[in-house]
Amino acid sequence: MAAGYLHCSDKVETLLEWFVQVIDKPVTNPLKPILTVVPNWTLSSWLRYQLVARLGVHGNCRFVSPERFVWEIAITLVPELAMDYRYSKGALALAIFKSLPTILNDNRKGVVLPLDLQAASPQLIHQFARVVADLFDQYCIYRPEMIRGWQAESSNWQAELWNKAASNLLGRTPVYLWDTLKTKLESMSGEVEGLPERVICFGVYMLPPIYLELLNALAALTEVHLFVFMPAKKIWEVVTKPFEGNYFTTPPEKIASRIKDQINVQHGFVGSCVELGVEHAALIAYRCGRWVHKERFSEQWPHSLLGEVQRKISEMSTFSGGSHSLVDDSIQIHVCHNRFREIEVLRDHILKWLQEDPDLRLDEIGVFAPDISKYQPYIEALFGEGSDQGGTIPFQIIGGGEGNRSPVIHALEWVLKMLDGRATAGEFIGFLGMEPVRLKFDFSWDDVSTIVQWIIRTNIRWGLDEIHKAQIGFPGHDYNTWRSGLDRLLLGYSVAFNGAFAKIVPGDPIEGDRVELLDKFLAFVNAVAEIIKRAKPEMTVPEWCELVQMVLDRLLVDPDPAGLGIRRIRAAIRQMAEDAEAAQFEDPLPLVNLRETFLLTLSDPYETRVGHPAGVLFGSFKWTHTVPMKIICLIGLNDKEFPRIEEHLTFDLMSKHRQVGDRSVAAEDRYVFLGAILNARQRLYLSYVGKSIRDNSDVPPSPLLQQFMDFICESFNVPLDALVRRHRLHGFCHVYFDGRDDRYFSFSRSNYSAASAQPDRSAGLAKTWSRQRQIRVPKSVSVDNLVKFFQNPAKVFLQDTFGISLPPEPVEILESECFWPEPLVGYEIRKAIFDGIIEGQDMDTVAERLYGSGLVPKTNAGKVVIESERTKVEPIVERVKSKFPDSVRASKEFIDFEINGWRITGEVGPLLGDRIVLGRVGRIRAKDLLEAWIKHLVLVCGKGGIGGATLLGLEGNKISTITLNLPESPQAVLHELLEIYAVGMTRPIPFFPETSFTYTEHLIKGSEDGLQALEKARKKAMDVWLGGEEERQIAESDDPYFDLCFADFALPNEDFESLAIRIYKPLLESWQKLDG
């Protein structure tokens, strides 16, 4: 039966009871869905669950948003609208962008725009068009009469712009839709074919006036039910009194004013929060005054502090005072130092609630924030898989913004932002690591790590090739480009020598499984490069849509088996194409505007949800406030963040003359906050960042939260300290585990371990190896591995024996050419020059090798760098030539021999004559001495002869020369080193190259004798181990492998001292040092 029914209550459960009764009533056609309007997905999901729970099974409700509802009613009553009405905000923005220049060309006097179109760039003009389109769209909903007036006469620049844009849309605007629909409704009577037999609107807390007008008109043709949540009983009492009269003819502004006068709110908190409810009630009274109305407000409330607060809000009573007996944990306010601690504390409380109440379900706990996306990383870290805080807690996140987007959408956004960039190494690496890309090209995480090392070692910085660099306005050379880097990788696979080929220096040799990885990597780079090259600074909308589709086809795979992300992307492509067609827009747009427009079209907050459907519900206030739950948690109630601050455009005509029903973000936030308080059934949990992380000083909460705290304290005589819990900066503070205050607790295993730990550092891994493990060490070793072992025994032991590789220090991905080298790059250049010269190469060959390696660009600046570094190397080169005048170039010897049951293999070099010659453009270090010493011993024992080793170092202008001569028994010395190696591969040995050398040198070559020499040696060694006072001296203990194995190392230490002497004494007895 056609009629309007108004249902009102302060409890959503009461509205639900009536809703189920309405749904359960028979209809003429049971196969036709009942159209139900809801504000968000969360409420529709909750209603579905409740219908099934109460009716057993039900699938005949179709939930839609208010916008979708209007459209479906429109095409039902006026079918031709489906063919010729294609309005959207995107189409309006394009129509405005197309119309803006014509305003200037008309030369009409008095038209002044807030933007100088003649000076503005196309990007800025398009952004302005989007802003104006948003504003005009609001005008269509909240000021349709103003739009109709503009259509009659253009009185200002907005009116003229609207009329021109509307003509581009062929007049098909929301006002046209509303007027067409209104005319059709006024001309109809009785039953209308196709119209839903029953229409329901549930939980929409503020319907714009034009929507209420539509519902009122529909009530004359079909059965319409409006379910309204009204937080304050007193408001509704004032509204219902005049329903018998002509209240519906009174303007809503007067109704709202009358309600405010009669409710006479005396408390600031409640009064500041109900303004939106008052206006909504006034609009309902004005538009739906003749409807049948039903109301029920709660008389019984829980006997708790929360229940009494809810009673006072609903009744808007002025009672003050109360008993301390109301103090309980039904309302809790938590003060934390940062967002992470807010989530960490919340997690502990959820676990406690679940422990105390076995019947509590996770989906009966709701956690809401002004912007949940700011908390999403912490939620996923502390509630998700891999959390060490006491187990995984299933959860779901609604409306999480960018953080809630599907992986394939996030990957698409990334690559679209690369289109007009420099194609930097960092951009490619970031894109490569995304799951949709890894799935498309079959990359594992180990593959990604290998590829990152390839990129670093081949000095890929930016630019696809020289043509790409020139196209984006830079000098057209291929140095440090992807093309040059890939050429080096391919040459490393193709050839087996270290020299340059066609002026290209080969990269690392690529063999085995890595050949297949190289092929996949090449396919990835070529696919991305093709996409980037197809993008133009300006493109038409069809060209853009084709490019996005190409990205989908060639670069991405949706990890979601249902393919929801891909479907949303394709829908956005279609929508953007339809917008251009609707606006008759064929001109090219700047790439940046196409990207921004597409990403805005792609975003659909109504559908953004991730996680477990039966888990703890996280969401932003605006999506989730209408659902009642046993426990409601409101987090992020921070100053300057909540309520949101009103921001209006200077040319917003609505803000200058506000009307009842207009949007107000501050009023919405206050009303939502009040609704959340009333929807909590057992507990209300509030938290905010109220402590400075810098000095622990107090930070004020949201003004609204402060009002609420004052409201409780004044109304119920409750001390503030009974409500507020001030948390420590860290979760491992002892107060959470000592049990002295039951308000502070934690379920975190890792925090408990940290709190229980002794203040002293762990003794280190070495003590766990006090007895030698039965580990078999192969009696064969390469020269390079033997050198690496003595340069860091702990590292080789952990990596080779147990496969333990500690995370390396973060490597900076360079994204620009090296016009003047950093210190480490400068050292690489000097080393390359020195190695090239002693190998007999001329400087032109060395320079080409440096150019080909990507260390130096082939520019005038690059030539200056090479010449500058060559002059630094020249003193050492001259010293080498003077000491070895008969040697033309350095060589290497291949070694393969056995000694006392050990087999040693590998190359030894560089050799000048029969001597090892190592040069370092810097101070000679202990690791250099060990390398030269071991190679010298291996060469002598493997090839015979006298041999020897020479090291040359340059520090400032001073050249140091160290000569290592033949020891008395080289075989015995080498065998001793091999025995130490055998032990060091079964357990960590306390040998640290720099520290051990300092100890041995001062003990053996120092001027002191006896105990005095020993004490000095120990002191100097500890200075090196811990980092002395010398400028730039680095502590050797900072090495992560040494730190892991020997965290508590200190002198005296018998094993350390014995090893240092066994290794370095023969070396020091064989060396000669000459400075000058």
Query: CA 985 → CA 136, 772, 1000, distances in Å?
Result: 75, 10, 23
Beta strands in 96-245 (DSSP E): 198-202, 223-229
Q: How confident is the model at residue 144 (pLDDT cuts 50, 70, 90)?
A: very high
Which H or E run includes 279?
A: helix 275-287
Q: What phi, psi does 237 have (nearest 5°)?
A: -60, -40
Q: Determine contact, residues 317/323, Cβ cutoff 8 Å.
A: no
- With left for phi above 0 and alpha for psi between -120 and 50, is residue 203 left, alpha or beta? left
Q: Which amino acid makes up residue 502?
A: A
What is residue 761's predicted lDDT score, i.e. its pLDDT? 38
In eight-state DSSP terms, residue 632 is E
Confidence check: pLDDT of 500 > 60: no
**Structure confidence at residue 491 (pLDDT):** 82
The string of DSSP letters for 848-887 reads: HHHHHHTSS-SSHHHHHHHHHHHHHHHHHHHHHHHH-TT-
Alpha-carbon torsion 430, 433, 439, 442, what sign?
A: positive
The pLDDT, as a whole number, for residue 1048 is 75
Q: In this predicted model, which residue has the larger pLDDT, 812 or 893? A: 893
**Three-class secondary structure assignment of 816-834:** CCCCCCCHHHHHHHHHHHH
* Cα 712 from Cα 719, distance rounded (Å): 9
CATH of the domain at 70: 3.40.50.10930
Residues forming beta bridges with residue 629, ordered by sequence position = 680
With cut-offs at 50, 70 and 90, classify the pLDDT of residue 955: confident
Asked if 147 and 200 sit in the same domain, the reply is no
Last residue of a domain, one of 229, 244, 262: 229
Same-domain pairing of 455 and 526: yes
Q: What is the pLDDT of residue 247?
A: 53
Look at residue 332 in the predicted model and tell me its pLDDT.
Answer: 96
State the average pLDDT over residues 650-655.
90
pLDDT over 50 at 759, yes or no: no
Identify which has the larger pLDDT, 997 or 1029.
Answer: 997
Residue pair 875/919 in contact (Cβ under 8 Å)? The answer is no
What mean pLDDT, rounded, does the chain reach?
Answer: 84
Determine the pLDDT at residue 498.
55
Q: In whole angstroms, what is the distance from residue 18 CA to residue 54 CA?
A: 12
Task: Give the lowest-confidence range in 305-309, 423-427, 477-481.
Answer: 477-481
Name the least confident of 95-99, 111-115, 533-537, 686-690: 111-115
Question: How high is the pLDDT of residue 864?
Answer: 78
525 and 633 together in one domain: no
Whether residue 734 lies inside any domain: the answer is no
| Contact criterion met (CB below 8 Å) for 932 and 918 | yes
Rounded to whole angstroms, how far apart are CA atoms 988 and 770?
A: 10
What's the confidence (pLDDT) of residue 1032? 47
Give domain status of residue 515, yes or no: no
Lowest-pLDDT range, 182-196, 407-421, 592-606, 868-882?
868-882
CA distance 968 to 972: 9
**Most confident option among 545-559, 657-671, 828-842:** 545-559
The dihedrals phi and psi of 631, each to the nearest 5 degrees, come to -130, 125
Q: Give the total residue count for the chain.
A: 1076
Long-range contacts of 809-812 (CB under 8 A, 24+ apart): 811/452, 811/456
Which domain CATH number covers 581? 1.10.486.10
Confidence at 316, pLDDT banded by 50, 70, 90:
confident
- pLDDT value of position 509: 74
Using the structure block, give the residue that is written with the tokens 């040459």.
491
Are 1059 and 1041 within one domain?
yes
Indicate if 252 and 358 belong to the same structural domain: no
The one-character DSSP state at 720 is: G
Hey, is 345 helix, strand or coil?
helix
Sign of the alpha-carbon torsion through 738, 742, 743, 745: positive
Give the bridge partners for 894, in sequence order.
Answer: 907
Specify if 830 maps to a domain.
no
Whole-angstrom distance, CA of residue 796 vs CA of residue 143: 75
pLDDT score of 18: 95
Based on the domain organization, do 584 and 718 belong to the same domain?
no
| Secondary structure of 12-78 as H, E, C letters | HHHHHHHHHHHHHCCCCCCCCCEEEECCCHHHHHHHHHHHHHHHCCCCCEEEECHHHHHHHHHHHHC
Mean pLDDT of 601-621: 69
Burial class (CB in 10 A: 0-12, 13-18, 19+), 440: buried
Band of the pLDDT at 157, cuts 50, 70, 90? Answer: confident
Q: Which residues is 611 bridged to in the sheet?
A: 396
Report CA 849 to chain centroid distance, whole Å. Answer: 40
Provide the strand spans (E) within 921-967.
949-955, 958-964
The answer to whether residue 364 scores a pLDDT higher than 60 is yes
Residue type, 913: G
Tell me, what amino acid is at 688? Y
How far apart are alpha carbons 366 and 361 in whole angstroms? 11
Decide if 188 contacts 222 (C-beta within 8 A): no
Q: What is the pLDDT of residue 606?
A: 47
CA-based diameter of the chain, in Å? 121
The reported pLDDT for the residue numbered 1028 is 64
Q: What are 1004-1008's contacts with CB under 8 Å, separation 24+? A: 1004/1065, 1004/1068, 1004/1069, 1005/1068
Q: Are 325 and 342 in contact (CB under 8 A)?
A: no
Percentage of the chain modeled with pLDDT above 90: 39
If DSSP codes are grouped into helix, strand and coil, which group holds residue 394?
A: coil
Q: Tell me how many degrees the CA angle 656-662-663 measures, rounded to the nearest 5.
A: 105
For 622, the enclosing helix (H) or strand (E) is helix 621-624
Rg value, the chain, Cα: 38
Please measure the distance between the N-terminal and C-terminal CA atoms of the chain and give it in whole angstroms.
109
Side chain identity, residue 295: E
Has residue 360 been placed in a domain?
Answer: yes
- pLDDT tens by residue, 170-207: 888 999 999 999 999 888 887 788 888 899 999 887 88
- Contact between 813 and 429 under an 8 Å Cβ cutoff? The reply is yes
Comparing 813 with 672, the larger pLDDT belongs to: 672
Whether 680 and 557 map to the same domain: the answer is: no
Classified as helix, coil or strand, 602 is helix
pLDDT band for position 756 (cuts 50, 70, 90) = confident
- Kindly state whether residue 507 falls inside one of the protein's structural domains: no
* In contact, 559 and 407? CB cutoff 8 Å: yes
For the segment 925-939, the average pLDDT, to the nearest whole number, is 92
In angstroms, the CA 36 to CA 68 distance is 11
The secondary structure of 463-509, three-state, reads CCCHHHHHHCCCCCCCCCCHHHHHHHHHHHHHCCCCCCECCECCCCC
Confidence of residue 1034 (pLDDT cuts 50, 70, 90): confident
CA distance 1065 to 1004: 8
B/e letters for 569-600, b = 16+ CB within 10 Å, e = fewer, are beebbebbeebbebbebeeebbbbbbbbbbbe
- Nearest in space to 423 (alpha carbons), one of 451, 460, 372: 460
**pLDDT band at 623; cut points 50, 70, 90:** low
How sure is the predictor about 745, in pLDDT bands with cuts at 50, 70 and 90? very high
What pLDDT, on the 0 to 100 scale, is given for residue 325? 56
The residue whose two tokens read 């070495």 is 766
Q: What is the pLDDT of residues 515-558, one digit of tens each?
A: 899 999 999 999 999 999 999 999 999 999 999 999 999 999 99
Lowest mean pLDDT among 221-235, 526-540, 779-793, 1006-1020: 1006-1020
The answer to whether residue 803 is domain-embedded is: yes
Res 680 pLDDT > 90: yes
Point out which residues pair with 566 in neighbouring strands.
Answer: none
> Does some domain include residue 826?
no
Confidence label for 762 from pLDDT (cuts 50, 70 and 90) = very low
Same domain for 349 and 445?
Answer: no
- Band (888; pLDDT cuts 50, 70, 90): low
Residue with tokens 């749904």: 23
Per DSSP bridges, beta strands 609-611 and 395-398 are antiparallel
Domain count within the chain: 6
Domain that holds residue 206: 1-82+188-229
pTM of the model: 0.74
Predicted pLDDT at 110: 52
27-42 b/e with 16+ CB inside 10 Å = b?
A: eeeeeeebbbbbbbbb
Question: In angstroms, rounded to a whole number, what is the distance separating the alpha carbons of residues 999 and 1022?
Answer: 9
Q: Is residue 489 part of a domain?
A: no
The amino acid present at 225, given as its one-letter code, is H
- Same domain as 107, residue 252: no
Cα–Cα distance measured from residue 422 to residue 414, given in angstroms and rounded to the nearest whole number: 14
Name the domain boundary from 282, 297, 312: 297
Per-residue pLDDT at 1031 = 46
The letter for the amino acid at 168 is N
Mean pLDDT of 997-1026: 86
User: How far apart are the C-alpha atoms of 122 and 159, rounded to whole Å?
Assistant: 22
Q: Distance between CA 739 and CA 755 in Å, rounded?
A: 13
Residues forming a β-bridge with 916: 911, 949
- 396 and 436 co-located in one domain: no
State the pLDDT at residue 763: 41
Question: What was the pLDDT predicted at 770?
Answer: 42
Same domain, 1024 and 1056: yes
Question: Are residues 433 and 554 located together in one domain of the fold?
Answer: yes
66 pLDDT higher than 70? yes
Residue 688 maps to which CATH number?
Answer: 3.40.50.300
Give the per-residue pLDDT at 650. 87
